[in-house]
């Protein structure tokens, strides 16, 4: 899935935005979540916590990444945190996940260097 790094900090918190809500929907449905995809929900931000990365190979704000399916298998997803039907829901965040692997990620290998015309 093609994502844009909105923000990251040194504590392993990364905020990605998706290029396409259609891609996010396909990804969501392929995960087999107990909560069905909601077409009314246009939120697109993904919050990833506790991500570990190889030194000097972290995600960079303002850069695009093509994250493969195996990347997403290293997370525990919290589908209640940003629930669309909650009265206290966040306006931009759709997904929250915590990294559960001990392996450090090399984000450089996923970096997209082509200029995207959006």
Q: Where are the domains of the chain?
A: 2-112
**Torsion-angle region of 62 (φ positive above 0: left; ψ -120 to 50: alpha; else: beta):** left
Q: In this model, does residue 16 exceed pLDDT 60?
A: yes
| Structure confidence at residue 94 as a pLDDT band (50, 70, 90) | confident
Q: When comparing pLDDT for 115 and 5, which is higher?
A: 5
Question: Which backbone phi and psi does 103 adopt, to 5 degrees?
Answer: -70, 135
Q: When comparing pLDDT for 11 and 93, which is higher?
A: 11
Average pLDDT of span 91-116:
88
């Amino acid at each position: 899935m093609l994502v844009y790094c909105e923000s990251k900090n040194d504590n392993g918190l990364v905020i990605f935005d998706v290029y396409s809500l259609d891609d996010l929907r396909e990804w969501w449905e392929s995960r087999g979540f107990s909560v069905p995809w909601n077409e009314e929900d246009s939120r697109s931000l993904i919050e990833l916590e506790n991500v570990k990365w190889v030194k000097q190979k972290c995600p960079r704000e303002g850069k695009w990444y093509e994250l493969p399916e195996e990347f997403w298998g290293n997370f525990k997803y919290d589908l209640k945190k940003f629930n669309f039907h909650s009265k206290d829901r966040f306006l931009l965040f759709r997904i929250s996940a915590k990294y559960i692997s001990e392996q450090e990620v090399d984000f450089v290998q996923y970096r997209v260097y082509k200029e995207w015309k959006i």
